[in-house]
Amino acid sequence: SAKALAAVPKARTVILSDYAKGVLDGATIKAIIAAARKAGVAVIVDPKKADAAAFAGATLLTPNLEEMAQFSGIRAHDDASAEAACRAVLERVAVDAILVTRGAGGMTLAERGKPPLHVPAETHRVFDVTGAGDTVIATIAAALAVGEALPDAVRLANVAAGIVVTKPGTATVLPGELRQALGEVHSASLV
């Protein structure tokens, strides 16, 4: 915990994710988020706790459909219900934004004071969804670290997730694969 806190001011982004294994207790979460806020570092959370309020102060929560239903009480089955679920959580929890990952339904980003962004899923042959959420959070963190805006980071993460689900098992997305999928449209600094 002390080493993690010492590293926060040197970071460009921080990801909090422990797969509900108990590494991130409430005190550690609060301390890391507070240190990051003080240093102006974005905190992106893959929330595995039952209460989203545990991550108050974070920049972005990235719940999946099941986690979002648990946090909001709303089943996000389409764009409108995903937006409603995000807004319900934003009313109760002090985070800047929520990105609900909806599998084949794509992603919905809700930022405070901004219209929602619904990003349709990349249509590929899905082979294995293992690691898709990890790909999303890692891609967003990397994009934010080089100065991309959150909506652009989300769009890039959607493309990356669309690639990773075409591979068997836990897989990675290579920069060349991302460049090819993007058609060289995005900033070369991202990939």
Q: Which residues are designated catalytic?
A: 134
C-alpha span between 144 and 140 (Å, rounded): 6
Contact 89, 69 (CB under 8 A): no
CB atoms within 10 A of CB 7: 12
Contact 48, 18 (CB under 8 A): yes
For residue 149 the two structure tokens come to: 């805006």
Q: Is the dihedral of CA 154, 101, 10, 142 positive or negative?
A: negative
Kindly report the backbone phi and psi dihedral angles of residue 109, in degrees, each rounded to the nearest multiple of 5, phi listed first.
-105, 130
Residue 11 is given by DSSP the state -
